[in-house]
Each structure stands twice: as C-alpha cells, then as structure tokens.
C-alpha cells in the first residue's frame, strides 16, 4: 500500500512562521513534522510515499529529496502556486497512488498512531481514524457506530488519517475541492468504516499548539 502526506496548504493560521517555512517542516523538539511522519510510515511498512506540494513546495523537495535517507521512495504531486485543498490534492495525485487502497495523512499532525494497524483492504470506500474532540474543535466531525462512520452525534474529530479507495474520487474532476463533504456523503451511504485512537494526537494548526508541543518555548 502506498501512502500520501498532504503538505500543500498555506498554513494561514501559522503566519508569520509559514511565510518562510512550509507548515509540515515546522519542528517539534528539533524534528520537522514531515520527517517524523515519514519515519513513522516507513517503520510501519509504507515505503512508497507521495507528497503534494504547492506553497513553498521547493523547500520540501530540497529538504526531502528522493527520500533515500529515510529508506523511502518519495514522489511529488505538484499543485502550482495555490493548493487544491484536501480532496483536490488527493484527486490530482491518483496517478501516483495506483489503483488499490492508499493511506492519506495530514502533514501537520503529531501523533503516536500505529499506522501498521490500518486495514489493507476496505469494506467500503474509506476507513477513517477518529480522536476525542480537542478544545479548539468541541463539536467534532463524525460519529462512530459499531465500526461505521456516521454523520450523527456523539461526534469525534477526524484525525487526518484515512485509507481510501481510488473509486471514492472517480466522479470528481481534477479541481480544487475539500475532502470532508465527500466523506460525509459517502458515510451516509454506509461506505465508510472507522476506528477511534485514544493515544497522542495534535493538529499543529497554530503557533500556540506548536509551542505547547515544544514545552512552551
């Protein structure tokens, strides 16, 4: 199974840090988020990795190169000066991801989720990892009922980790669009499974959250 890391976002809430550094290259305790994720993926057996790039994408390319020093094979999906959002970014990268199920991870999360436990085959079109709602997102995103993701309370937060079938995007054009509405519509048809992760997880979306992970410095 191949893996994709979403790394094309502008990181508006992280400015001015992201004016010069792509958000996935911001460091927690000296290690860039992207480096940590790649190391985790390789340890879990994911060696073929696709990374989408837009804002300051050349910095990511220069930093990671071919991925050889991670024992990975990294391919890049170019989106131009502006990102295609989460859904459009995945849709653009499909030629690099193959026809089977593939893993997608947000490039700005910090987690101890064991990627090796994710399903290699799907019962529907997607499998999502959900976490308890953080303080900054108390309403959550999706419910979880007997292993199925539902659009009903009580809701948990989407962790930015999912396994997808390419068919999920078969009716979408190569254009900018978010992933969440597509997942909700697919879940309404009973085609999305899920699991709850109760360990470490943080959406590193603001300077305050980054500082907290770095011990308040």
Q: Per-domain residue ranges for the chain?
A: 3-213
Sign of CA dihedral 17, 23, 29, 32: negative
How high is the pLDDT of residue 11? 62
Mean pLDDT of 192-201: 97
As beta bridge partners, residue 22 has none
As beta bridge partners, residue 202 has 110
How high is the pLDDT of residue 216? 61
Report whether pLDDT(211) > 90: no
Q: How confident is the model at residue 217 (pLDDT cuts 50, 70, 90)?
A: very low
Letter string b/e over residues 108-143, b meaning 16 or more CB atoms within 10 A of that residue's CB: bbbbebebeebeeebebbbbbbbbeeeeeeeebbbb
Q: At what angle do helices 85-97 and 180-188 cross, to 10 degrees?
A: 80
Give the residue from 38, 77, 36, 74 showing the smallest Cα distance to 57. 77
Report whether pLDDT(210) > 90: no
d(CA 128, CA 193) in angstroms, rounded, equals: 6
d(CA 167, CA 190) in angstroms, rounded, equals: 15
* CA of residue 189 relative to chain centroid, distance: 23
Report whether pLDDT(114) > 60: yes
Report whether pLDDT(185) > 90: yes
CATH topology for the 3-213 domain: Spore Coat Polysaccharide Biosynthesis Protein SpsA; Chain A (3.90.550)
Three-class SS of 62-109: HHHCCCHHHCCEEEEEECCCCCCHHHHHHHHHHHHHCCCCEEEEECCE
Task: Please state, in angstroms and as integers, the Cα–Cα distance from residue 17 to each residue in 24, 26, 188, 189, 191, following that order.
Answer: 11, 8, 39, 41, 39
How high is the pLDDT of residue 17? 65
Give the DSSP letter of residue 146: T
| Tens-place pLDDT, residues 4-37 | 999 998 766 767 766 778 889 999 999 999 999 9
| Tens-place pLDDT, residues 99-113 | 889 999 999 999 999
| Tens-place pLDDT, residues 38-87 | 999 999 999 999 999 998 889 999 999 999 999 999 999 999 877 899 99
| Tens-place pLDDT, residues 134-151 | 998 999 999 999 999 999
How high is the pLDDT of residue 94? 96
Question: Any idea which of 82-86, 181-185, 213-217 has the lowest mean pLDDT?
Answer: 213-217
How high is the pLDDT of residue 13? 72
3-class DSSP assignment, residue 10: coil
Mean pLDDT of 199-215: 89
């Amino acid at each position: 199974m191949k893996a994709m890391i979403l790394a094309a976002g502008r990181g508006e809430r992280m400015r001015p840090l992201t004016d010069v550094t792509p958000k996935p290259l911001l460091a927690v305790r000296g290690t860039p988020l992207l480096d940590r994720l790649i190391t985790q993926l390789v340890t879990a057996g994911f060696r073929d990795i696709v990374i989408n790039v837009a804002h300051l994408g050349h910095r990511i390319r220069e930093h990671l190169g071919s991925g050889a020093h991670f024992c990975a094979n990294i391919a890049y999906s170019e989106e131009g000066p502006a990102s295609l959002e989460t859904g459009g970014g995945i849709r653009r990268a499909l030629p690099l991801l193959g026809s089977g199920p593939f893993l997608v991870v947000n490039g700005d999360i910090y987690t101890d989720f064991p990627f090796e436990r994710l399903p290699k085959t799907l019962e529907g079109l997607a499998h999502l990892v959900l976490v308890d709602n953080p303080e900054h997102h108390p309403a959550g995103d999706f419910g979880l009922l007997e292993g199925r993701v539902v659009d009903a309370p009580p809701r948990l937060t989407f962790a930015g980790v999912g396994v997808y079938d390419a068919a999920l995007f078969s009716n979408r054009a190569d254009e900018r669009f978010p992933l969440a509405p597509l997942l909700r519509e697919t879940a309404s048809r009973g085609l999305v499974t899920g699991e709850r992760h109760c360990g470490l997880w943080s959406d590193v979306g603001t300077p305050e959250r980054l500082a907290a992970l770095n011990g308040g410095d």
